[in-house]
Structures are given as structure tokens and as C-alpha cells.
Amino acid sequence: MVVKKIVRKVGKILKGRRQYLFIDFEFTMPERKARMKDFFAEIIEVGIVSVVDDQITEQFSSFVTPLKFPLLSERCKSFLHISQQQVDNGLSIYELVRKMEEFNKNYETTIVTWGNMDMKVLRQNCLKAGVSFPYNGAELDLSMEYKRFFGDQNQTGLWKAVQEYGKEGTGRHHRALDDALTTYNIFRLVEKDKRYLEKPKPTTIGDRVDFSKLFSEFA
């Protein structure tokens, strides 16, 4: 009984802390100009970076086996540099959802992605597989935050955005964990700029003292 109470107490403490999950997926894609009946994008690689109190607490990366269209197109393999064998040996969508639920259970969580496609595809994949969507917390599309913050007319690509900061992306573009880490790095840069702009200017002595009144007293 004492152990259960301790576990519940620790759970409440953790739930009061904010976790940011930076998530990136790579998806299947059809051949160019090919018409595949009922085709939809499926997750074939996942990268997750868990950040709590501004510290990375866990990283996760895996290939994922498509459920409905398991054979990758030549275009998909060439563009993403992912092999059929890699996805054949990956997690199932059911195992992926269970893993994502584990990330979600101990904290108040905000999901951060670059663009809105990742969560759209995850929702559709869960629907097609007959499983519940694993998250119920806040979702942040960092590409839109970046667009609004800098007043850009169009959305900027992930690696172009980090290069505009004078930095380079982590690892290789279109690898899920590398892109998730790059998203986290841009998040930190944007948040730092926000704090800088919101910081009020220190008042000067001229702001604090009305010299016209002061001089009139000595006139």
C-alpha cells in the first residue's frame, strides 16, 4: 500500500511538469504519376526527442512497417534512402502507438512538429489500423510559429529555417531523428529570440526622475 501511494505521488509530481515531444515521421510515397487505388501515406520511420525542463531526457528512433501498402516504391526508397529490408524489420503501427503512449503518460505534454503533416498522417494511420490516437495534449506547428515570428509570407522548410539562423541541421535531412533534433534546435533559437524581444529595456535615471520639477525646486 505504501509503495502504491508513493507511485501515485510521484506520478502527480511528474504530471505537473511540462514535456515537449519533438516528433518527425518519414512516409511512404507512390511512384510519380502512378495511380494506386486507395493509396495513403504511411509512417515508415519515427524520430522522437523528449525534453523536460529544457533538458533532453530521451531520444527514440525506429523504422516502421507499413500496414496497408508494405512494399516501398522506388521513388520512396531513392528519395529517403530507406530500404525495404529496414521497414520490413521495423515496428508495427500497433507497437509504435504503444511506444508513443509511454512517452505521453507521465507528463503534461506538448507535441512539436515542423508542419502539420506528421500529426495528420499519424491520425490517419491510427484510424486505418483501428487504434486510438496516442496523444491528447497540445500540438504546436513550429513552422507556423516561425512564419508568424519572422513575418514570412510563405512557410519555410526545416533545414532552410535553421540555415537562416546561421546554423546547420543535425545529421542528415529526411532522417526522422535528425529532423526531430533539428526541430528542437530551431525551437530553442526561436524561444530565445522571443525572450529577448519581450525583455523590457532597463529604465534610465531620466525615466525615473522628472528633472523639470527637480530644477524648479532649486530655481
The set of catalytic residues is 26, 174
Which residues touch 180 (CB under 8 Å, ≥6 apart)? 22, 23, 24, 47, 48, 49
If you search the block for the grid coordinates 499519424, which residue do you land on? 122
Sequence-ordered strand ranges (E) for 53-95: 55-63
State how far Cα 165 lies from the chain centre: 18
| Rounded Cα gap, residues 21 and 173, in angstroms | 19
Q: Which of 121, 123, 119, 122 is nearest to 142 (CA)?
A: 119
- The answer to whether 164 and 185 have CB atoms below 8 angstroms apart is no
| Rounded Cα gap, residues 74 and 81, in angstroms | 10
Terminal-residue alpha carbon distance, the chain: 80
